[in-house]
Structure 1
């Protein structure tokens, strides 16, 4: 009596199909595991190079290169220092637009530790700092020149890391201007308010 076939006609076509699918899956997985960007030809910083006549892979900026950051017109605008001391003025006029920009950047980078009004009681500070950040409303901070705040943001101070790589120089000055506005908001008197604004405030109080 004849033996039945081990595989039906449908099964004989199913095996090659399954094998093809397995091969496709393997090829996709192995391709996704390659590190092309990590293994591509490159130079390490300051590595020597035989390609350039001076044997240096680090190249000078081409003539006409435009900085992606705002370039200050004064030296202290980049350093916050005048003759080795914190600058006692700003490198550009402070306008309402500058203050709005400073408020936005302050809320992003400063408020987690210094809180939104500058008392040094931010959420991050309350949850993990052994020493609380300084309050901007202390006599020492109110008497500090603008360059002090710019320098601290640039180079860090105490447990505060430097923020120069994250905040552009112009934005650091804008934040400094906003810190001044916060200080005024807590210590200003009615006499220090411009006359037109004073009349508006008095009308709102009625």
Structure 2
């Protein structure tokens, strides 16, 4: 027998050996939250071992605890995210008169109220993360860095509506 037919015969037998009742689609497995005698507590849903850190969790936790450095790129990103997630209720200028409110939904507080102008940045981050009143949590929709970007943009909105000429000396010199 030559090498070529022997190779074909070996390959054909290997391919046929893969066919049968033991395919990948029909493997024994546990269903979610089913009984499993393999584990001590009898359930297949096991907690993570102590000390395990999921991939990306360290970076994620650092982003949650530390605000990003404010620069033009962050403010630009904040405006983009604000326009997508916040302006439907809070309005483009942050006065609480967004399109949803114009259609009958209760108005959120204005970012320009004395209380919210005095609130620290963490307050806004926590409200975006956890929700407040009628506002639901955006934690699953907006990444922590983007939440900080939105907070920075809200601060810019607040400053834009309550700016003083003393804040811009170059403009003061051009006034009559």
Superposition TM-score, scaled by structure 2 size: 0.68
Alpha-carbon distance, 1:65 to partner? 4.7
Q: Which residue of 1 aligns with 2:67?
A: 91
Q: How much has 1:110 moved relative to structure 2?
A: 0.3
Moved over 2 A (4+): 41-44, 46-66
Match of 2:108 among 107, 118, 133: 133
Question: What count of residue pairs does the alignment treat as equivalent?
Answer: 146
Root-mean-square deviation over aligned CA pairs: 3.2
Ranges in structure 1 where 5+ consecutive residues have no aligned partner: 1-40, 79-89
Q: Tell me the residue number matched to 1:179.
A: 154
Q: 1:71 aligns with which of 60, 64, 67?
A: 60
How do 1:27-38 and structure 2 match up within 5 A? none
CA deviation map 1:143-171 (0-9, x unaligned): 11111111111111111111111111221
Q: How does 1:19-168 map to 2 (within 5 A)?
A: 43-44=31-32, 46-50=33-37, 55-58=43-46, 60=48, 65-67=54-56, 70-73=59-62, 77-78=64-65, 91-129=67-105, 131-168=106-143
Q: Is the 8 A contact 2:75 2:152 kept in 1?
A: yes
C-alpha separation in 1, matches of 2:73 and 2:167: 21
Alpha carbons of structure 1 residues 202 and 101: separation in structure 2 relative to 1, 3 Å: farther
Superposition deviation, residue 72 in structure 1: 3.7
TM-score, L = length of structure 1: 0.59
Other structure's SS at 1:140 match = helix
Q: Distance in 2 between matches of 1:106 and 1:176?
A: 9
**Unaligned regions of 5+ residues in structure 2, if any?**
1-28
Q: Radius of gyration: which is bigger? A: 1
Compute the displacement of 1:52 (Å).
5.5
Structure 1 residue 102, shift from structure 2 partner: 0.9
3-state SS of paired residue (2:60): coil
Question: 1:95, CA displacement in angstroms?
Answer: 1.5
